[in-house]
Structure 1
Amino acid sequence: MTYILKTSHLTKTFQGKDVVQDVSMKLTQGEIYGFLGPNGAGKTTVMKMITNLIKPTGGEIELFGEKLSEDSFQVLKRIGSIIEYPFFYERLTAQDNLDLHCEYMGFYDKKAVKDALELVNLQNLGKKPVKDFSLGMKQRLGIARAVITKPDLLILDEPINGLDPVGIKEMRDLFKMLSQQFGITLLVSSHILGEIEQIADTIGVIRSGRLVEEVAMSSIRDMNTEYIELTTSDSRKAAYVLESKLNILNYKVVNEQLIRIYSDGMSRGELAKGLVNENVDIESLTIKKNSLEDYFMELVQGGEGVA
């Protein structure tokens, strides 16, 4: 199989420290690949290596079946990207900025500029300079610039940063449309796991520079078993009652106040009655399902913030 993007044992060392280690990932045409990891895990560094902004210390990158090198100018023309914060000519308008980008890319299509601005809902801004744009508007313009040439691969580092809920939904719909209607492949990092869960076909989880998981989103959904979440003032006592009195062994003590109960042999009402009869304090008893967030936190071993 020929992949749109493939990395093999990708490594980057800064000042004697491996910030990316042995990362091998694969993206197929038209898929949305959600790239997740804690702060400082190496996501942006990987994206910069793929776009040839920095050179790998080791490993290889293949784009459209061709090994990336210093001379891969034509290959890079097939990529659109936002890496970190998008910068513009602040005194120029959105249209002027996109015109300049197209000139730089050797892409001459005035209608494409108009279409890109409409895609991100930035049409009809007149002569308003970019310096007067909000953070969300600048993020939208960055996405317009990334998609204007209809690239085969779109690399987006935190693309919904600064957007309000309406803007986030618009971008979600846009990404799905680019993937489904135009066959564009998207590599998207985000700290909003719920958004990745809604759009991604595949997720890759990176931790401390290493890719610890690459899995289809459908597989995660298949693992989304229902469970009962018990909040109590004393999880040790509750765990004792579950095992010795109620014969429930399939549970997990999350912390001193929280237990997840996976047994399907007892209803929530029966469970509540059994716990109350043994004087277990119940603050809440809720039916839940595992989510991408649960899966992610399990992989990064609980508790680091994501970005």
Structure 2
Amino acid sequence: MNYLLRTTNLVKKFKDKEVVTNVNMNIKKGEIYGFLGPNGAGKTTIMKMIVNLVKPSSGEIEIFGEKLTNGAYETLKRIGSIIEYPVFYDKLTGRENLELHCEYMGYYDKSAIDKVIDLVNLKDIEHKDVKDYSLGMKQRLGIARAIITRPEFLILDEPINGLDPIGIKEIRNLLKMLCKEYNITILISSHILGEIEQIADTIGIINNGKLIEEISMDIVREQNTEYVEIITMDFKKAAYILENDLNISNFKIVDNNKIRIYDLKLAQKDISKALILKGIEIEAINKKNSTLEDHFLKLLEGSELSA
């Protein structure tokens, strides 16, 4: 299999604390890899190690088939990135920031600036000083800067922070296009799991510095379970009726107002009717499929229990 990036037993310690532990990532060429984990799990530290901003304590990083070293300048030229909050020269315009970046990178295709400004929808504000940009505008400018040199590998740490729903959709479509039409491999982290679910080919889930799963999204989708979700404040009484009157034992109480029933031997209307006749006030009842968020939370829960 053709991997663009592989890490082998990657470890990072800050003083005596190990924040990344024996991580083995495998990112295939031409895919979108969703990197998931709670705050402080180690995602950003790993991304910084990949672009040589932080040195590993031990282990190896291989990119484009070559081991990453301190002098791997040509390798790093093939990578675009936004890691943590993008920083700009605030008193320069968006266009001037992009021009400066191109000069720094030795990239002299001036038409590329017009193209990326169009791609990230900054056409009307490119001549505005960056100090007057909103957070969402700065995120767009950061993405423009990351892709302007046509990198082969794009690393994006929370790139949709500060964007409204329309902006999020635009960036989602942009990333899909960059991967499909330009064959750019993308590593992206985000707290918005629904977005990762829509664009990722593979996901890696990290918790407490350990990569606890690396799995194809196709497999996650195949594992999706159908269930009936009931929203009611009478969840305790409803749970009693399900178990004792309807003989349903395969259900789970979520958030103290939701019951998810995985045993679907009874029709949704029959469950609803039985609960209403017993005086249960039902706010909503729907048939659903488990999501990436369900998979993610279940996996994190299991990793915490085994820790």
Residue type of the alignment partner of 2:12: K
Residue number in structure 1 paired with 2:274: 274
What TM-score, normalized by structure 2, do the two folds share? 0.92
Residue number in structure 2 paired with 1:193: 193
Q: Which is further off, 158-167 or 48-57?
A: 158-167
Matched, 1:297 2:303: no
Q: In the alignment, is the contact (CA less than 8 A) between 1:113 and 1:148 conserved in 2?
A: yes
Cα separation, partners in 2 of 1:22 and 1:253, compared to 1, 3 Å: same
Q: Which is further off, 100-109 or 176-185?
A: 100-109
Residue type of the alignment partner of 1:187: L
Hey, what's the Cα distance between the residues in 2 that align with 1:268 and 1:241?
15
SS at match of 1:212: strand
Q: Which is further off, 143-152 or 157-166?
A: 157-166
Residue number in structure 2 paired with 1:218: 218
Q: Give the length in aligned residue pairs.
A: 303
Question: How far did 1:240 drift?
Answer: 3.7
Question: How far did 1:147 drift?
Answer: 0.2
Q: Deviations over 1:258-307 (max 9, x none)?
A: 321112221111112233455555443322221111111212229x9xxx
SS at match of 1:41: coil
Residue number in structure 1 paired with 2:50: 50
SS at match of 2:96: helix
Hey, what's the Cα distance between the residues in 1 that align with 2:125 and 2:280?
61
Residue number in structure 1 paired with 2:253: 253
Matched, 1:26 2:23: no
Residue type of the alignment partner of 1:87: V
Q: In the alignment, is the contact (CA less than 8 A) between 1:235 and 1:255 conserved in 2?
A: no
What TM-score, normalized by structure 1, do the two folds share? 0.92
Matches for 1:38-117 after TM superposition, within 5 Å: 38-117=38-117
Q: In the alignment, is the contact (CA less than 8 A) between 2:33 and 2:202 conserved in 1?
A: yes
Residue number in structure 2 paired with 1:243: 243
Hey, what's the Cα distance between the residues in 1 that align with 2:165 and 2:133?
18
Residue type of the alignment partner of 1:215: I
Residue number in structure 1 paired with 2:263: 263
Question: How far did 1:213 drift?
Answer: 1.3
Residue type of the alignment partner of 2:178: L
Residue type of the alignment partner of 1:100: L
* Structure 1 gap segments, 5+ residues each: none
SS at match of 1:4: strand
Hey, what's the Cα distance between the residues in 2 that align with 1:266 and 1:236?
20
Q: Which is further off, 220-229 or 35-44?
A: 220-229
SS at match of 1:101: helix
Residue number in structure 1 paired with 2:118: 118
Hey, what's the Cα distance between the residues in 1 that align with 2:159 and 2:71?
28
Q: Deviations over 1:78-111 (max 9, x none)?
A: 1000011111111112222111111111111111
Q: Which is further off, 37-46 or 238-247?
A: 238-247
Hey, what's the Cα distance between the residues in 2 that align with 1:208 and 1:98?
36
Cα separation, partners in 2 of 1:167 and 1:257, compared to 1, 3 Å: closer
Residue number in structure 2 paired with 1:202: 202
Hey, what's the Cα distance between the residues in 2 that align with 1:275 and 1:164?
39
Cα separation, partners in 2 of 1:244 and 1:126, compared to 1, 3 Å: closer
Hey, what's the Cα distance between the residues in 2 that align with 1:274 and 1:126?
61
SS at match of 1:5: strand
Hey, what's the Cα distance between the residues in 2 that align with 1:284 and 1:21?
43
Q: In the alignment, is the contact (CA less than 8 A) between 2:12 and 2:18 conserved in 1?
A: yes
Matched, 1:4 2:26: no
Residue type of the alignment partner of 1:121: N
Q: In the alignment, is the contact (CA less than 8 A) between 1:155 and 1:187 conserved in 2?
A: yes
Question: How far did 1:245 drift?
Answer: 2.6
Cα separation, partners in 2 of 1:116 and 1:221, compared to 1, 3 Å: same
SS at match of 2:296: helix
After superposition, the CA RMSD in angstroms is 1.9
Q: Which is further off, 48-57 or 287-296?
A: 287-296
Hey, what's the Cα distance between the residues in 2 that align with 1:102 and 1:266?
63
Hey, what's the Cα distance between the residues in 2 that align with 1:113 and 1:15?
42
Hey, what's the Cα distance between the residues in 2 that align with 1:256 and 1:124?
47
Residue number in structure 2 paired with 1:153: 153
Q: In the alignment, is the contact (CA less than 8 A) between 2:27 and 2:33 conserved in 1?
A: yes
Hey, what's the Cα distance between the residues in 1 that align with 2:230 and 2:121?
44
Q: In the alignment, is the contact (CA less than 8 A) between 2:136 and 2:161 conserved in 1?
A: yes
Q: In the alignment, is the contact (CA less than 8 A) between 1:80 and 1:154 conserved in 2?
A: yes
SS at match of 1:80: strand
SS at match of 1:21: strand
SS at match of 1:60: strand
Hey, what's the Cα distance between the residues in 1 that align with 2:276 and 2:171?
47
Hey, what's the Cα distance between the residues in 2 that align with 1:273 and 1:169?
39
Cα separation, partners in 2 of 1:164 and 1:248, compared to 1, 3 Å: same
